[in-house]
Structure 1
Amino acid sequence: MDPARRTPVNQSSAAITEVVLLGFSSLGQLQLPLFLFFLVMYVLTLLGNALVIIMIRLDRRLHTPMYYFLSHLSLLELLITTTVTPTMLLLLLSQRKTISFLACALQGYVYFLAGSAEVLLLAAMSVDRYVAICNPLRYTAIMSSRVCLSLVLSCWTSSFLFISTSMVLKARLPFCGPNAIDHFFCDSAPLLQLICADTNFLWALDLAISSFLLLSSVSVTTASYLCIVATVMRMPSVQGRQKAFSTCTSHIMVASLYYGSSIFIYVKPTDNSSAGFNKAATVLNTVVTPLLNPVIYSFRNKAVKEALLEVFQLWKLVGGL
């Protein structure tokens, strides 16, 4: 049995009411520069993703399945980063690195709910690209607004069922400490170490859920792009091949970032020695990737750049009145 999963000896300890997050305690004077750095990134993330959502909503040229999924991706990124980053910023400023146990549990639940939905949404976006390139004549009929809505709702529903099942099982067990965890947010693995009962089943369940969601999504994405590559390579025109690939590169970059960091954190046996790497990968998921998503899609997509230019021109016009 993993040492981190041993059943605590003291079963009579009082239930914990707050959790100490030690993620940045060892950084000393670096905490203030990190606070300023993450604050700037958080503000830019909020502005960038909110702008993408508003732009797609207002510009009729972007009322297509690809941008419909992109708007939901931006919404999920806003939810993920807002669930984690404000708490992280408070920890960097505060001497008392604590969060109430209820807030801690809620933070972990919302993070995994949104994160799981995003993993599934990235797979749905790859299917959309597959249909657009491999079956263009029937694209509008296949990827109807009804189908797109059903795919998004399926992502949320599946995520809710998986994450809620795990959360309900954890809530039935006693949390009695010690109440300090070596992380900057309430991740699942550190929280399991606070349970005063046998947690082997929960460790296995979390690993199974993470593996199923991530590996199934990666498989769908990989299969979609293998079919896309095969179709594109049969195109006679070099310009046509470049245009087809250009519609996929943004999604490939975003999916690779998110899948890679998530698999590194959650689809592997627990190893206490890798806590530092896990925190770095979590920063990538919760701070860096949400910031990069609107940048990647904006700078690599002509329609988005044109819509952004019109938005800025409109703001300039309104500001000059």
Structure 2
Amino acid sequence: MTELPLGFEMSQLVIPLDRILPSRKTPEGLLNSRKFKQIQSSIAEVGLIEPLTIGKANKATGHHILLDGHIRLMVLRQFEYDDAPCLIATDDESYTYNNRINRLSTVHEHYMIRRAVEHGVSRERLAIALNMDISFVDKKLNLLDGLCAEVVELLKDQEFSAYVSPVLRKMKPIRQLECVELMVSANNLTVPYAQALLMATPDNLLVEPSKAKRINGVTPEQISKMEREMTNLHGQYKLVEQTYGEVILNLVLAKGYLSKLLDNPQVSRYLRLHQPDVLAEIENIIQTVSLDK
């Protein structure tokens, strides 16, 4: 089995800030943004938790191109830091890191907070640094408690409310995985959707069946119906998941054939004169089908 190359070198390096060059301009109004002030407060209170991501050093100048962490670099220079811990990307310099990872995922944020606590930073200082209530810091700190490893893997690159986790904890691991698969596929990682999935969960897949489904205005019959419909939905989702790649490939091949067909002037002219509706549908297929769908 071929091993995939790592995107970063395994160890961190401390690099002087004067050897790190930004890869993009600073957006207007950034210094007054909430995000800038939050990072500024965080570094002032607890220092830099998340290392910068940089490219390999230029052989001629020794400079590194900054791939991720522009705001952190600005704040470090503002506070007159001399250097910073960095991760060096092993990808080619043409790879645009910021186009692939634009925001900090919720799971990644959890790891940062946990690492800060393990390094001796108090929850109170973190609350000040992150500009949030201490109870919310606790929720982020305990985000993954009670979640199975497969669920954590699915959520690692997602952004979602910390209040989703307590809902998932009420389910057994196999049901957690089913629900998160549905949430991710629907691009709906909200608390109401998680609660709806909880309501549709059979008692045998709940950690504490007697406590999980106490919602006013919902009858036992409605709950039973939701369970049946959710079971059916999950079955349909699995079926689609198994056939999705093959279906898309067939559509792309069909698109190629239809494109060549319309490149024939005689065929195109005949359809335009005698089958305009068919022509419109073919053109619509050509315009919409792609491997990115």
Instruction: Specify if TM > 0.5.
Output: no
Q: Which has the higher strand share?
A: 2
With CA pairs under 8 Å and 6+ residues apart, which has the higher RCO, 1 or 2?
1
Please state which band the TM-score falls in when normalised by the shorter chain. Answer: under 0.3
Computing the radius of gyration over CA atoms, which structure comes out larger, 1 or 2?
A: 2
